[in-house]
Amino acid sequence: MITTRRKKRFLLCVRNEGCEDLQLRKLYEQQPDTAAAREGYVRVIDESGEDYLYPKSYFVAVELPREAERALARRRSMSVSNSQLQRTGLARRR
């Protein structure tokens, strides 16, 4: 059985009115959500690693070289593991 991996899609934030949790000029990874797309929204992963819906007009799709995509994937996995380490460290201090 042949499986095809979905190419990750990255969006550049160009507007953030009313969405203080979005940072202008920052790249966000888009998650597929056809229902949201029909309504004019995109689903992106934020700093916490959670995904949220935002207006599509707040982003511009960008094509990244493969090396850049890998670097972003490593950064995200490192930030998740770092937050887990911080929580573990806090639990030990208490």
Domain ranges of the chain: 8-63, 65-94
pLDDT value of residue 61: 96
Q: Could you confirm whether domain 8-63 is CATH 3.40.50.720?
A: no
pLDDT in tens, the chain (94 residues): 555 455 678 999 999 999 888 999 999 999 999 999 999 999 998 877 899 999 999 999 999 998 988 887 766 655 544 444 444 333 443 4
pLDDT value of residue 72: 79
Work out the burial of residue 18: count CB atoms within 10 Å of its CB; fewer than 13 is exposed, 13-18 middle, 19 or more buried: exposed
Q: How far apart are CA 50 and CA 92, in angstroms?
A: 25
pTM: 0.69
